[in-house]
Structure 1
Amino acid sequence: MRTAAQAIASTSNFVLATHVRPDGDALGSMFGLAHILKMMGKEVCCYLEQPVADVYIFLASPVSIETDFARVSAFASQCSDDIMGIALDCGDLGRLGDNGTELSTIQPFLVIDHHQGNKGFGDLHWVEPHRSSTGEMIYDLAEELGVADELSREAAECLYTAIVTDTGSFRYESTTGHTFAVAGKLIDRGVTPASVCQRLFDNASFASLQLTQAVLASLQTYLDNQVAVVRVTRQMLQETGANYEDAEGLINFPRSVKEVRVAVIMKEGEPGTDQISVSLRAKGDCDVAEVASQFSGGGHRNAAGCRVLGKTMDEVCSMLLPVLEQALEQKKNKQV
């Protein structure tokens, strides 16, 4: 962390980016860091491949967001050598999207991440897989930079959102005493937990409820109910009027079943693509990051994902089940 802080302190201009289809940790970390850098008098350009999802739009104000990569390139070119690129919450260069390779040519390029399977791209790396979230790391970075006591309420809300979403509201095993300590300090900086959680979890649309109904109707269980699989298809989205963002969090329904050790949600890609996105959530010692790594994915021990090209959902499920069975058997053998 100290090396990252020193590099940031000596730089005036920054391009911040995160992974495609960003979640609460990705956006909260990026916008929280943007607030911190601007507070320090730095110039910041936040790049997103697509506009912010409605559920997270409250985090974006008053951060300046750029979705036109040509403008990002123009900003970078006018900064000469006094610039740094930073990727947040992203474990793989490919996850930065179509312009990831060009983004990584901004030098130095710093990677701040907590994913177990981080591929080690970039020039500088601050990767701590044991952390609850990248947002927790950004708060510690603010302390290292000496500005944590000056965080605005907006910055604190961004980092709190990052933490609360990536810990499953402080339910996942990555949650530590330090996580709670950071959350407490963010509350001291003006965060109202009830207000943040209402914006995140109590603002469902009727379309999203209809999507939830359709997704839960797809539920199938395997391996003596230890594995539960649900699906999100393009047809479901079309019929309900929902979008991919509305599917975020639906994996928690099968995960909450007592007998289930691993929950899986498979999502069809955008029209014109043959990609199936797979998210896995585990309870206990089953290492789904290891499972995902066998399909060129990654993540954390209890939360991971991958993308499979050129296969149907049924084919992807058939590929996953033997690997999950092996992972669950390994966990059982360790307990004996």
Structure 2
Amino acid sequence: MTDKTVVIITDTHIPELVAAPEVLKKAVKKVVIDHHRRAASIIRQPLLTYMEPSASSASELVTELVQYYGGDEEMNEIEASCLYAGIVVDTKNFAVQTSVRTFDAASFLRRCGADTKLVHRLFAEDIHFIKTKAEILAHMKLIDNYIAIAECPEGTEDSQVLAGQIADYLVTVKEIRTSFLFYHTDNGLCLSARSDGSINVQVVMEALGGGGHLTVAGCQLGKDGNKEAAEKVILTQVRKQVEEEKE
């Protein structure tokens, strides 16, 4: 890496959440592209910050940059398919946080050769993954008949992906309005939160030092993170929102 190297960070603007913090520390020139609401902790002194919380995904923003400001070089099928996959994930197959801009971006990617069958295969699950999901769901707690809380045990393979998928699934279940999945990584205890839109999980996660969107959020509690203490904060925040609804 040299002083002329440009490091592009997507899908986060929080330095603690980047995939390669050692690269970020060395970077002189940085560009940030993100669709999350601005947090207290941000990447400092970037050349450009492009943050648009109304966008469905960072993939949508990158697609727009290529579509409207790109050069003559055309996007190849793999690049288009990867960006399309990013939109599919964040919108839950175009079901949430989807606008006219989202469909415009998807249409552009299809014209560039995005392979929808390939994207579908990327999300295929093996039988071990399904069995692990079933085990976690079997130990789920349902509180107040609308709050689901579960945990991926330590050592669970691909725990971050698994937690997000289970949290997504739970808010499709009747009467469950919000779900919270604890999982473990090398950085300690983490949390994925989802809602059906009636509970603002972004606010809940911000109370624990995290962030996100109305329906999708998360946080890192760290190696000293306490699950029981976090659950108390979750219940307090969610119940507070429900009480405010009644007023």
TM-score by length of 2: 0.88
The RMSD of aligned alpha carbons is 2.2
CA drift of 1:246 comes to 5.6
CA drift of 1:311 comes to 3.9
1:253-286 CA distance string (max 9 Å, x none) = 211112111111111334xx6x321111111242
1:100-145 CA distance string (max 9 Å, x none) = 2651442221111001144432323111111000000001111233
Tell whether 2:89 aligns with 1:165.
yes
**Match in the other structure for 1:185:** 108
- Which amino acid counterpart does residue 221 of structure 2 have in structure 1? V
The count of corresponding residues between Structure 1 and Structure 2 is 242
Tell whether 2:54 aligns with 1:130.
yes
Gaps of 5+ in 2: none
Tell whether 2:16 aligns with 1:94.
yes
**Match in the other structure for 1:268:** 184
**Match in the other structure for 2:29:** 108
Tell whether 2:121 aligns with 1:198.
yes
CA drift of 1:312 comes to 3.9
CA drift of 1:213 comes to 1.2
Larger Rg computed on CA atoms: 1
**Match in the other structure for 2:152:** 232
Greater relative contact order: 1 or 2 (C-alpha under 8 angstroms, separation 6 or more)? Answer: 1
> What is the rounded CA distance, in whole Å, between the counterparts of 2:176 and 2:10 in structure 1?
31
CA drift of 1:89 comes to 0.6
**Match in the other structure for 1:40:** none
Tell whether 2:6 aligns with 1:84.
yes
Q: How does 1:1-336 map to 2 (within 5 A)?
A: 76-77=1-2, 81-96=3-18, 100=21, 103-118=24-39, 119-122=41-44, 123=46, 124-147=48-71, 150-172=74-96, 174-200=97-123, 202=124, 204-223=125-144, 225-234=145-154, 237=156, 242-244=157-159, 247=162, 248-270=164-186, 275-309=188-222, 310-330=224-244, 332-333=245-246
> What is the rounded CA distance, in whole Å, between the counterparts of 1:319 and 1:329 in structure 2?
15
CA contact (8 A) 2:172 2:196 kept: no
> What is the rounded CA distance, in whole Å, between the counterparts of 1:258 and 1:193 in structure 2?
30
CA drift of 1:227 comes to 0.9
> What is the rounded CA distance, in whole Å, between the counterparts of 2:182 and 2:24 in structure 1?
29
CA spacing shift, 1:315–1:120, aligned 2, 3 Å = closer
> What is the rounded CA distance, in whole Å, between the counterparts of 1:298 and 1:139 in structure 2?
24
TM-score by length of 1: 0.66
> What is the rounded CA distance, in whole Å, between the counterparts of 1:317 and 1:88 in structure 2?
30
> What is the rounded CA distance, in whole Å, between the counterparts of 1:105 and 1:327 in structure 2?
42
> What is the rounded CA distance, in whole Å, between the counterparts of 1:102 and 1:195 in structure 2?
31
